[in-house]
Homo-oligomer: A and B are copies of this chain.
Amino acid sequence: MKQMFQNAKEASRALMLLTDEQRNDVLLRVAERAEASVEKLLAANALDLQKLEPSDPLYDRLLLTPERIQGIAADLRNVAKLPSPLGIISKERTLANGLYLRRISVPFGVIGVIFEARPNVCFDVFSLCFKSGNACILKGSRSAQHSNEAIVALIHGVLREADPPQPSLGRESSPFKGELEGVFLLPPTHEATAELLGAVGYVDLCIPRGGRKLIDFVRDNARVPVIETGAGVVHAYFDKDGDLEKGQRIIANAKMRRVSVCNALDCLLVHRDRVGDIPALLAPMKGRVEIVEDEAAMGTEWMDYKLSLKIVDNLDEALAHIARYGSGHSECIITENEAAAARFQQMVDAACVYVNAPTSFTDGAQFGLGAEIGISTQKLGPRGPMALEEMTTYKWLINGNGQVRK
């Protein structure tokens, strides 16, 4: 496995030399190859599915269909169309001594992604990493291993046919021999996860995509930098000055649009003065969403048609509740009072803080950022939707002419 990490590190250096056109060309060819390989992909997928009952919820998550593969190809083409996040100069200055400084976006290098089920994640992660100049190491679940292997083999086939990166300097030979590599698949074992999390010097960033248990395990055991994504204990606070009709729409949309996503509403806080409006507030969800007023259930991420409900005395109690139980993902206030809205947005410590709009909007594409790899709930590194720009770091370039420091 050490050899794979070493290969990934070297691949990441070769990937730096590609142009955006070369990257897009590869993505378009992967899309084409996916469409042309439906039978092969479905055959591999069938090997994974045969171990499951079709009634198992995992079955649907693992399932590939011709339509889903069409969707995957469309996603790949969309990523190819996005502007490159690389080479963007975020700071530029010439110092008094003549030194010329630039801060420029560059790939992280090697990104490890640990994920559960859904084999389409292989395509997603590869496309976002490749477009942003990163090599990726994937660790999927055992239940999807045949599918994941088939997908990675398909991508490898395209990469093998692609032109290798050309050294930008004519006078010396490139150190990058052999074929272009961009994606590596680990075996679906705990040992592989442990090796990945300990690969200091080879893996620049690790992103767990999955449930709370996986995220906690990765954070607690990684020696490489980690971005925690996804886990969302999401609140909406209906303020003393909330508009009832907006509240009805926002709460229903945040809760019911898709209950299984991380931006779905988990807990509704209502100002004591508006207790009488609760039946009307909940009316759009009647018969579909179970209301839970159990204090012990506060802080639960439901992923289901359930909603915690709590009455609070004032805005500050709502803030304190969110500080205690929120996961720093998305939080929302419904109010017509501008001072209350401003204070909520100032004091809530979360990636996305909404006024009079549902948390369902927390999504890279909705924010106009393009495709996303996840929603970061931590404060170090990118926070909130992680699209292409958030998959880059930067370096400082300093150009002088023999200046020295006093």
Contact = CB atoms under 8 A, between A and B. Distances in A.
Nearest to A323: B13
A342 B400 contact: no
B314 A355 contact: no
A173 B227 CA distance: 36
Contact of A398 (B99, B315, B355, B396): B355
Contacts of A108: 379-380
Contact of A404 (B172, B174, B253, B395): B253
B16 A399 contact: no
Given A99-B361, A356-B400, A405-B253, A169 B384 contact: no
A316 B396 contact: no
A363 to B, nearest CB: 8
A384 B395 contact: yes
Interface stretch (A33-41, A64-72, A152-160, A344-352): A344-352
A204 interface: yes
Interface residues of A, number: 84
Interface stretch (A113-121, A140-148, A244-252, A290-298): A244-252
A368 interface: yes
A369 to B, nearest CB: 9
A366 to B, nearest CB: 7
A305 interface: no
Contacts of A252: 404
Given A402-B356, A405-B358, A405-B361, A393 B379 contact: yes
Contacts of A200: 219
Nearest to A102: B345
Given A227-B380, A381-B380, A99 B357 contact: yes
Contacts of A173: 316
A321 to B, nearest CB: 11
B220 A395 contact: no
Interface in A157-179: 167-175
Interface in A99-138: 99, 101, 106, 108-109
18 contacts: A95-B366, A101-B367, A167-B343, A168-B343, A168-B346, A175-B316, A225-B226, A243-B402, A353-B396, A354-B399, A356-B399, A356-B402, A357-B404, A358-B403, A360-B404, A360-B405, A361-B403, A383-B396
